[in-house]
């Protein structure tokens, strides 16, 4: 069974086969228009996905409109964000006593 929300995959490079990448399980893939994309477009998509709260879906139209290559350069499917908030906020992480568990 595929779970597109367990791991967000941004795949491809310039002039990739967009449909094959999505068919292989990617959430976002490059070059539906088979064009040369900007190197920062996949970075923007990954960052937007990682900073979208887990309870929300990534706004595809907002993401595509803010990339340099636009909707001919990057595309994807509806995907949940992966950002989680923990409470209470820890002030000093160096005070944590972490003991690795034996596997």
20 occurs within a structural domain: yes
Cα-Cα end-to-end distance for the chain: 27
3-state secondary structure of 41: helix
87 occurs within a structural domain: no
89 occurs within a structural domain: no
pLDDT tens track, the chain, 103 positions: 478 888 999 999 878 899 999 999 999 999 999 999 999 999 999 999 999 999 999 999 999 999 999 999 999 999 999 998 877 776 777 777 777 766 5
How many domains does one find in the chain? 1
Tell me the residue range of the domain where 65 lies.
10-76
50 occurs within a structural domain: yes
d(CA 39, CA 23): 23
86 occurs within a structural domain: no
The two structure tokens encoding residue 74: 């990057």
């Amino acid at each position: 069974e595929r779970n597109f929300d367990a791991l967000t995959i941004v795949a491809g490079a310039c002039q990739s086969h967009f449909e094959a990448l999505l068919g292989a399980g990617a959430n976002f893939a490059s070059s539906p228009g088979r064009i040369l994309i900007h190197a920062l477009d996949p970075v923007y998509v990954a960052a937007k996905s990682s900073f979208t709260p887990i309870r929300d879906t990534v706004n595809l139209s907002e993401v595509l409109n803010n990339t340099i290559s636009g909707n001919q350069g990057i595309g994807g499917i509806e995907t949940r964000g992966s950002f989680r908030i923990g409470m209470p906020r820890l002030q000093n992480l160096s005070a944590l006593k972490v003991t690795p568990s034996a596997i």
